[in-house]
Copies of this chain bind each other. A is one copy, B any other.
Amino acid sequence: MSNITKQYFEQLDKQDSLAPLRQEFSLPESILYFNGNSLGAMPRGMTQRLQDFAEQEWGQQIVRGWVTQGWYQMPQRVGAKIASLIGAAADEVIVSDTTSVNIYKLAIAALDLKPERRKIITTSDIFPTDIYVLQGVSNTLPDRAELKMVESDQIIDAIDEQTALLVLSPVNYKTGELFDMAAVTAEAQKRGAMMLWDLSHSCGAHQVDLSGIGADFAVGCGYKFLNGGPGAPAYLYVAKRWQSEIQQPLTGWKGHANPFAMSPDYEPAEGITRMLCGTHPVIAMTCLEQAVDLFTTVDMAQVEIKSRQMGDLFIALAEQQCKEYGVTLLSPKESAKRGSQVSFQHAEGYAIVQALIAKNVICDFRAPDVVRFGITPLYQKYQDVWDAVAILTEILATESWQQQPSSPTSAVT
């Protein structure tokens, strides 16, 4: 790529069909926000929505709100909206609990569906809570479950006739590297295993087609690219073909076929509703719904195109401007292999992130040396990339660590 100019970024913003969406978000003027892959920015309508919730719903209706305000059906209703973003049918997704709790439910369900198999496989670089929960599953059921962690490139070889479940994130949260979801799902199923995708770093960020790839199970959080607010409720997906068979361990009253009969025997509800457990936090789900509604006018293909282009430009610009300062590209250079983030490595990564944040470029550090920039096309401008790289370059050029360049191989590539 030839020399890139600021004018080029300005031109891209002018042509960007997603640009008007930025106005739908509350973003402080002073910051460049590259951390929507950790916590999404707040949709601007949230303040009014919360005021309405307090004054007109909870404050006026109190307990009647469960019926009059549609609180009761929120897990199904918001789930259906999320389903449309991940290529699932409306009745295949439900909002419930946290990602961690939902992984637990589905992992034990998978062991029940594959009683002759005991192995659960994941990668050692998946988001750690996925590992911890799967360790919890094997601690709960030492005779029925065994967790095996492998490197990402060993995953296919690791699936054997003992494998009940494969748990993967399509996006490596550190590097941004993408799995080929269709190919891995097909391979897992060919070998008789179930496939569980953790979409926390995918849903709302790039195109996902669970029906198209014939996925079994999926989970994901509501607070990253979905912008549902800190700790927003999570969701889970169960393919229609498993819904009548599936049983899950956390059998609470909201998953009961008839909760208000208050019968002393648990009877699972029909369909995806049986995956619920306790009473859902209505206000947190209200925020998530408000945020997900912003996606209704959005074409995820357009989001993915803008994300890839912003990532490509970030990489090219970093190569152009801070090649000499020992910053190594960690993410795949090819956008088709990269999720909605760009990660670099630098020995002083932690200090660099602190310096960036001090200059209002909000990004994050991941141990031991990763500087991570999330890309969120709904509310970021192309110019944000230009400005962020300019500040990164300025920091690298003025701070003390420029005296210790890394090895030649660690230049931005």
Interface centre among A58, A108, A255 (most CB of B within 10 A): A58
Interface centre among A54, A249, A281 (most CB of B within 10 A): A281
Among A180-188, A226-234, A321-329, the stretch in contact with B: A226-234
Indicate if A237 sits at the interface (CB-CB under 8 A): no
Indicate if A405 sits at the interface (CB-CB under 8 A): no
Q: Tell me the bound Cα distance from A63 to B39 in angstroms.
A: 5
Smallest CB gap from A281: residue in B: B284
Q: Tell me the bound Cα distance from A248 to B26 in angstroms.
A: 39
Q: Tell me the bound Cα distance from A279 to B62 in angstroms.
A: 27
| A277, chain B: closest CB distance, angstroms | 5
Indicate if A197 sits at the interface (CB-CB under 8 A): no
Cβ contact of A63, chosen from B38, B127, B255, B287, cutoff 8 A = B38
On whether A42 and B26 interact (CB within 8 A), knowing A100-B252, A132-B256, A261-B367, the answer reads: no
- Residues of B contacting A367 with CB < 8 Å? 260-262
Q: Tell me the bound Cα distance from A149 to B50 in angstroms.
A: 42
Is B46's CB under 8 angstroms from A230's CB? no
Q: Tell me the bound Cα distance from A248 to B137 in angstroms.
A: 10
Is A139's CB under 8 angstroms from B247's CB? yes
On whether A60 and B262 interact (CB within 8 A), knowing A98-B252, A139-B247, A253-B132, the answer reads: no
Q: Tell me the bound Cα distance from A49 to B396 in angstroms.
A: 41
Q: Tell me the bound Cα distance from A46 to B51 in angstroms.
A: 9
Is B139's CB under 8 angstroms from A251's CB? yes
Interface centre among A108, A140, A367 (most CB of B within 10 A): A140
Among A3-11, A64-72, A82-90, A302-310, the stretch in contact with B: A64-72
- Residues of B contacting A20 with CB < 8 Å? none
Cβ contact of A66, chosen from B108, B129, B230, B282, cutoff 8 A = B230
| A365, chain B: closest CB distance, angstroms | 9
Is A101's CB under 8 angstroms from B38's CB? no
Indicate if A313 sits at the interface (CB-CB under 8 A): no
| A220, chain B: closest CB distance, angstroms | 12
- Residues of B contacting A247 with CB < 8 Å? 139
Known A97-B101, A133-B250; further 18 A-B contacts with Cβ < 8 A: A26-B55, A28-B60, A46-B59, A58-B230, A63-B364, A66-B230, A97-B98, A98-B279, A100-B278, A101-B252, A104-B249, A128-B253, A128-B259, A133-B251, A133-B252, A149-B264, A230-B279, A262-B366
